[in-house]
Chain A
């Protein structure tokens, strides 16, 4: 129980710490520092981590019989949308050398789609209480809080 509490507290801290790892991105030789693009790359990687964690928890819940196959499939389909849009945004990010207004507008469109798919996953209400998925969502929430700074 103490470990569970510590885990929850620690993951709440992740929300605050989310942006901290951005400073560790190395600037490639011959390139200029682009902290916004660096931060977006890190937060997008974290969205991927969160989506993967949700999938892994879903697989545990299915194997333990805590969700039905139909519910599992509903989650799978929503995760496919999250990962597809996330991949598209990541691919688009690679094409920019600086955070220009055009880059911002292009990425903001994808960000909105990504956030919408992620919110569908969270709002679905299909995960049982105390299933652990809320912790995975905290990881995702931290990433979206970081991304939202640039797109809202």
Chain B
């Protein structure tokens, strides 16, 4: 596990523990936790891949992002 993955995993674990203890994990942090989890998953998916595999996955993700943004733009959002 890289240093980056360790940090992100620690954030996810801290949030899970706080949630389990009934501590409030709301607002800003509450909104960010799913995003951190997704980022961690994204980084872990890249680990051990070749450059070509990373580039291919990034290209697909950029396409998906652009599709989501175009849909928002069409709604004026």
Contacts and interface: CB of A to CB of B under 8 A. Distances in A.
Interface of A: 3-4, 6-7, 10-11, 13-14, 16-18, 20-21, 23-28, 31, 34, 37-38, 41-42, 44-45, 48-49, 51-53, 55-57, 59-60, 62, 69-70, 72-73, 76-77, 79-80, 83-84, 86-87, 90-91, 93-94, 130-132, 135-136, 139
Contacts of B69: 55, 76, 79-80, 83
B32 A20 contact: no
A contact patch SS: helix
Task: State the 3 A-B residue pairs at the shortest beta-carbon distance, nearest first.
Answer: A87-B62, A17-B3, A28-B50
Contacts, number: 146
Interface residues of B, number: 48
A83 B62 contact: yes
A152 B66 CA distance: 28
A131 B9 CA distance: 22
Nearest to B76: A73
B20 to A, nearest CB: 13
Nearest to A18: B4
Given A62-B77, A76-B72, A7 B29 contact: yes
Interface of B: 2-5, 7-8, 10-11, 14-15, 18, 23, 25, 28-29, 31-32, 35-36, 38-39, 42-43, 46-52, 54-59, 61-63, 65-66, 68-70, 72-73, 76-77
Contact of A7 (B32, B57, B63): B32
Contacts of B66: 80, 83-84, 87
A21 B47 contact: yes
Contact of A21 (B4, B10, B35): B4
Contacts of A41: 51, 54-55, 58
A148 B31 CA distance: 30
